Amino acid sequence: MIVSCLGIGIGAGARIAIGEAYLLCHGPVCVTPSWIPPEAVDAEIARFENAVEQASKQLQAIRDQIPPDTPGEISEFIDSHLLMIEDKALSSGVISLIRQRYASAEWALQQHCNALVEVFEQMHDAYLRTRRDDLIHVAQRIQKVLLEQHDSEPEELQGQIVLAEDLSPADVILLHNQRVAGFVTEHGGPMSHTAILARSLGIPAVVGAQGAGQVLRHGELLILDTDHGCVLAKCDQAVVDHFQDRREYDFRRTALLRQSVREPACTRDGHHVQLLANIELASDVQSAVENGADGIGLYRTEFLFMNRADLPDEQEHYETYCDVIRGLPDRPIVIRTLDLGADKPLAGTRDGGGCGNPALGLRAIRLCLKEVELFKPQLRAILRASVLGDVRIMLPMLTNLWEVQQTRALLRRCMQELDAEGESYNPKIPLGGMIEVPAAALAAPVFAQALDFLSIGTNDLIQYTLAIDRVDNEVNYLYDPFHPAVLQLIKGVIDAGRKAGVPVSMCGELAGDPRFIPLLLGLGLGSLSMQPAALLEARQLIRELDARTLRAKTADFMAHLYTADPLTLLGHWDH
């Protein structure tokens, strides 16, 4: 048996793909420094603006190819690139370089793009940091128009696995239309739009497989195992047969899971678990509904603030929240307030002069309480929208009790203003907090007394506890959800909520990971919020478990936390 496994990629989309490799030449556009004479400035600016217009038309044409019955979030990926192309922050910087330095349009665009990429790379939030890829995709599309380069797309790719250095969301949609079996990219991460879109479309993909193009050959048979983020090549027939069986099993299982999408998530002994969805856009609600979400456990509102030179006003906040609430009537909607700042000063806010460590700087609730005029429109809009459904407010990155107290005081002030204006709202709107800082986890008993609910954000909690960045390839091997300190903090928050009679949920990546769900239930967690695509598998798993057995096994595991083997625990859950 000969099996070659790259083993360094990150899985996305469906689990298994088998097909012949097709090397797609989508390398970066090479731009060399070049300048123009002063008298050619106006003509060069016109050439750049025409290229922007042509690139925009190309994306609009791709968006028009999306079938009308496709979920709305698919077209949102193209729309985000269209917004970026039309953003004055992109074009004005390029035009300034053409006017002031007599740079050619290509060189000015490259310089300005490089400067913006540096800003994105300094961001703390892993999701926002990967937006640099979108900027690069947009800039490269404009560059190809300027340089009169055209990608020669093959006419037929059905059933093949595409290999490329990188793919934009537009590329992914075109490949989906050609019914590819899957794709492998050398660049990208789990939160890149390419990976997210692959999951949304159900395309098996391995992203971030560095060096794949150097070791894989055009036309050879490949197997993608996205569960483990690896690519297999030079496999004998027994291995191919094994993965074909796995792929067919996955198809049958998904079809069966969809049949029980309306069934409650109850363990065999009758313990009900609330399954909620994490969303970023109002259009994500459709996917949450289709996968049987009991509500929204985390609505990230940062997209309202991105790719624009101004701040969203209260009415824009209000209308966006109303769209989400109407999509899930009579179900809880947890709206997380703005979680940006420090590494990227927002338009209309004061620049604090930068921060040596953005992860520990002025961001999230800290920024909102300092920039009250940024915070108030969002709070007022949430309050106004609260009359439409079960709306709840969640504060990110809490560290101190006074942050809750100041927010409650600001909420009272907003309510007084709305009263004077004759606006309706829910005066008892629940206020909760994300427990994602170790200090907040240790102080969970205090926060449980001051808040209406708690939600554990494991992504940051693990990173802050272990002092590592999980998207840093040099240290991400230390990202260990089973570290005793992490598990003790999670257990402490759950116990504090139970003692205070306050609901506790989890909205980090662990909440949707089937490997960890039994342990979380055993710790007493009764509410999980995850990506919509993970809901089907989570529901079925919960229905196969016995809560009493889980509690006993978990209690024994926690009693021997520093000597127990987590892998042994994972292999002995009672289904």
CA–CA dist 172, 235 (Å, integer): 27
How far from the centroid of its chain's Cα atoms is residue 540's Cα?
A: 24
> DSSP character for 182?
E
Catalytic sites, residue numbers: 193, 507
CA–CA dist 413, 436 (Å, integer): 27
- What would the DSSP string read from start to end of 287-331? HHHHTT-SSEEEEE-GGGGSS-SS---HHHHHHHHHHHHHHSTTS
| Bridging pattern class, strands 504-506 and 296-300 | unpaired
Taking the chain, what is the end-to-end CA distance rounded to the nearest angstrom? 34
CA–CA dist 100, 108 (Å, integer): 10
Determine how many CB atoms are found less than 10 A away from the CB of residue 160: 23
What six digits make up the tokens of 13?
A: 């989309």
Query: Cα–Cα–Cα angle for 171, 172, 177, nearest 5°?
Result: 100
CA–CA dist 8, 207 (Å, integer): 9
| Cβ neighbours for 442, distance < 8 A, ≥ 6 positions apart | 489, 492
The amino acid present at 233, given as its one-letter code, is A
CA–CA dist 162, 216 (Å, integer): 11
What six digits make up the tokens of 510?
A: 């662990």
**90 close to 84: Cβ distance less than 8 angstroms:** yes
